[in-house]
Structure 1
Amino acid sequence: MRSVLTVLVAWTSLIGGGTALADASDRPALQFRTLAPVAPGVEYREFSLSASHGPAYGHVLRVDLSRSGVSLDLLYPGSVAARSTVSRMAAARGAVAGVNGDFFNITETQHPGVEATGAPVGPSIASGRRLGAAVPNGQRFGPAMPPGVSTRDVIGLGTDYRGRLDRLTLEGTVTANGRTLPLRGLNQYALPVGGIGAYTPSWGSASRLRATCGTDASRGAPCTNDTYELTVRHGKVTAAAHKPGHGAIASGTLVLVGRDAGARELRRLKVGDAVRVEDRLKAAHRGALRFAIGGFPVLRDGRPLSGLDGSTSAVRTAAGLGDDGRLFYLLALDGAADYRTGLTVAELADLMRDLGADDAVNLDGGGSSTLVTRDPDSGRTAVRNHPSGGAERPVANGVGVFVRT
């Protein structure tokens, strides 16, 4: 591991005028302002540094996953296609701390009459249960990703309670009338061209029309008119429609949405036909994930990825891993007026490394960047940073820190 001693000194020194951490490349030193225990195994710190576009101020949580009872899980509003603030989601789940998570379908200015769903870009797993899969790369929101990175990339926690970077790929089939078709989507706001997607009760009540807009390479491309939707209840088709609908999906029911070639395949089926849908999120690495959230990697094995943007600066959120997945770092920059210049993605990777992470991902930033902690005395959940919009933005999901006592 890189600079273990330096990192430990920075995290364990008591306040007293603050501590500084500089690395061998002579980058500006990190100045730590405060140290505050949140719960056993969870520490919160504030820091500042001078970045290429001006001063940056930030907030970071260090989570010791080797500590008994300390864990992570997905914060989300109860549905994939919904939004809520981090403080509200953390308080509802009893989390001791948390940050906002994945980029999400925030707006639909390029598709008049189509509502944004609020659904995340990447895959998500909550308490071991898969919620949704990733949209095509060209349909994502957020800054440019470095070469070789995908919307299927996640950071998460295995059933061994160690954090890791992984890649989750949807594998599934739709079988009916002796034919087996590939399933190309699961509770996601955009389907691949020619694909079929499944929507379960976890999707929520948002319209499914957005799933048929754009293309694999262009989020703003027009919506297709070649669409079809089937409602399947207890394994049989119960309804069909030419246009994707909206509204809550009942327990025991799923909805299949097809676009282009996928729509033409669904039109072969009639009410009363038997349908079997199977799906799973296949991890690139061994071992099941009990929690996963989408985010694009910026740091692997202590080295920033090649091709990171080193010119565009913004308020950012990140999550990282250290000590072979036993330490988890959650970071959100301050969006107050004096600090809105933020960091470039390249600077973010360097910062996460200096904090002690060996692997890290960039999460949704700008007005979404939020870090919260629960006061150990009052039990109230408080926002630690200053969101750049002046108030918390409702977001799709987040990373929650939990301590079982």
Structure 2
Amino acid sequence: MPRRTLSLLLVTVAAGAASPAASAATRPLHFTATSRVWPGVVFRAFTAAGAKGPIRGHLLDVDLREPRVTVGLLHPPVVAARRPVSRMADAQHAVAGVNGDFFNIRERHRGVPATGAAVGPEMADGRALKAAVPEGQRFGPRRPFGATTEEVIGVGADRVGRMTTLRLDGTVTVRGPLAPPAAPPVAGPPKGPEPPEDDLDDDLDDDADEADDSALRARRPRRRHAARRARDGRLSIPLRGLNQYALPVGGVGLFTSHWGSASRRRAVCGTDTVRRAACSTDTAEVTVRRGVVTRTATAVGGGTIPPGTTVLAGREAGADVLRRLRPGDHVSVAYGLTGPARLRFAVGGFAILRGGAPLPGLDAVTRAARTAAGVSANGRHLYLVVVDGRSPAGRGATLADLARLLRRAGAQDAMDLDGGGSSTLVLRTPGEPAVSVRNSPSAGAERAVANGVGVFVRGEPGRARRVRH
């Protein structure tokens, strides 16, 4: 039986003089240096021709036939938090890593703080940490047609890399009689979003979809049925969110101790199509402790959620259902992330290469710092790419260039991850006490990010010291 291999490509790219796109797309990578840094881990430098000029980078090849090598999610202690990639890598004892998904970096709703939570699903060690926000609530550059917030790239227990989708499948079951429907809270007109403000980073990495927002129509929330009565008399409420900064209109979401202490208010702001739409005033929140409702409220709150406790937040039709719950009611919750494949770890992004072909409509003009990930046709290779922008090392790359680079490296499917000031590559070699940043971040220093992809070598010598998050 053939042994399976996983290779990781960590690339720092510099764009220079122009060259024809057709020629650049077919030229192979040229390796200029090779170094075996860990058992099963080979580090290489390479050059390549891009449509906008020469590309220089580095390749980290990880062989999963070496049983000590694994790949996993780098993440802060909780979902609603951010940390630099180097800090997460050292805390989790990774030998290398790159930044991951786009995230809620800023807020333009008055009085609502940014959560720092990622857009797409997260899985770590087989556990579902969060689900995807609605399509209209995402951050990031303009994407090709057909991309969704549920897309992920990850590795399964079979040590095969895949680009696939993960969807939340969850239900809240309420046993016993319910109180009669309560009237929605009386409130004044909702406050609109803050006036536009200057971006923190003009690399188009985390707010370039504002043009898309303005082109979408704000839809009046419809009061859909948010629950159904089962034959045995129990009320079944479908979950529409898990530890995410935005809930679908009319939905009910679940927050666990993995969320952290950040305010949950952002979850009821915006709509399924317009991120900047006003926050809903038709909301409800229910706290459940070991299967029993302990508290109900009409406003969505914040604060640390203890282990064994969950918080249900609802808006519009979802709030209607939650307002029927009372302290003492018995509630059970079941949820998971489901998809075509079982993954041990997963991180979100959006597809730029599928079936060996770049997706139609990729930006071929705008150069910026980028991070991307791809997998080979047999799933034995995972490629992670970091492209520098606004630095002496390079002026960035377009999404079209990025897709071609991944294809030339051997990827069959690939997705774009967060870029701009977030793009970071870290690595440590034997004898070094901690990882160091190997690319040139756009802002001159690391940005704190929502998550990342880490490479781990169990039992390696010179193990990094334990670093607290």
Instruction: Give the corresponding residue for 1:326.
Output: 380
Shift, 1:312, TM fit: 2.0
Aligned equivalents of 1:373 and 1:359: distance in 2?
25
Instruction: Give the corresponding residue for 1:64.
Output: 63
The 8 Å contact of residues 321 and 329 in structure 1, kept in 2 or not, is answered as: yes
Q: Answer yes or no: is 1:256 the counterpart of 2:312.
A: yes
Shift, 1:327, TM fit: 1.6
Question: What's the secondary structure of 2:327's corresponding residue?
Answer: coil
Question: What's the secondary structure of 1:246's corresponding residue?
Answer: coil
The 8 Å contact of residues 124 and 291 in structure 1, kept in 2 or not, is answered as: yes
Q: How does 1:291-370 map to 2 (within 5 A)?
A: 291-322=345-376, 324-335=378-389, 337-370=391-424
1:223 to 1:59, Cα distance in 2 relative to 1, 3 A: farther
Shift, 1:126, TM fit: 0.2
Aligned equivalents of 1:147 and 1:336: distance in 2?
28
Instruction: Report the TM-score, using the length of structure 1 for normalisation.
Output: 0.89
Aligned equivalents of 1:147 and 1:379: distance in 2?
44
Q: Which moved more, 1:355-364 or 1:39-48?
A: 39-48
Instruction: Give the corresponding residue for 2:259.
Output: 203
1:210 to 1:58, Cα distance in 2 relative to 1, 3 A: farther
Letter in 2 for 1:99: V
Instruction: Give the corresponding residue for 2:104.
Output: 105
Aligned equivalents of 1:101 and 1:173: distance in 2?
29
Instruction: Give the corresponding residue for 1:175.
Output: 173
1:291 to 1:23, Cα distance in 2 relative to 1, 3 A: farther
Q: How does 1:211-250 map to 2 (within 5 A)?
A: 211-250=267-306
Aligned equivalents of 1:279 and 1:251: distance in 2?
16
1:115 to 1:331, Cα distance in 2 relative to 1, 3 A: same
The 8 Å contact of residues 206 and 246 in structure 1, kept in 2 or not, is answered as: yes
1:309 to 1:353, Cα distance in 2 relative to 1, 3 A: same
Aligned equivalents of 1:394 and 1:343: distance in 2?
22
Shift, 1:65, TM fit: 2.7
State the aligned residue count: 383
Aligned equivalents of 1:249 and 1:203: distance in 2?
8
Instruction: Give the corresponding residue for 2:89.
Output: 90
For residues 164-196 of structure 1, what are the alpha-carbon distances to aligned partners after superposition, in whole Å with 9 as ceiling and x for unaligned?
111001111111142111100000000000000
Q: Answer yes or no: is 1:279 the counterpart of 2:335.
A: yes
Aligned equivalents of 2:76 and 2:286: distance in 1?
26
1:226 to 1:59, Cα distance in 2 relative to 1, 3 A: farther
Q: How does 1:362-401 map to 2 (within 5 A)?
A: 362-401=416-455
Aligned equivalents of 1:313 and 1:335: distance in 2?
8
Question: What's the secondary structure of 2:320's corresponding residue?
Answer: helix
Letter in 1 for 2:165: R
Structure 2 alignment gaps of length 5 or more = 1-6, 10-18, 177-233, 460-469
RMSD, aligned α-carbons: 2.1
Shift, 1:202, TM fit: 0.5
Shift, 1:311, TM fit: 2.1
Instruction: Give the corresponding residue for 1:159.
Output: 157
Instruction: Give the corresponding residue for 1:38.
Output: 37
Shift, 1:56, TM fit: 4.7
Question: What's the secondary structure of 2:170's corresponding residue?
Answer: strand
Instruction: Report the TM-score, using the length of structure 2 for normalisation.
Output: 0.78
Aligned equivalents of 1:105 and 1:198: distance in 2?
18
Shift, 1:217, TM fit: 0.5
Aligned equivalents of 2:299 and 2:440: distance in 1?
42
Structure 1 alignment gaps of length 5 or more = 1-7, 12-21
The 8 Å contact of residues 285 and 311 in structure 2, kept in 1 or not, is answered as: yes
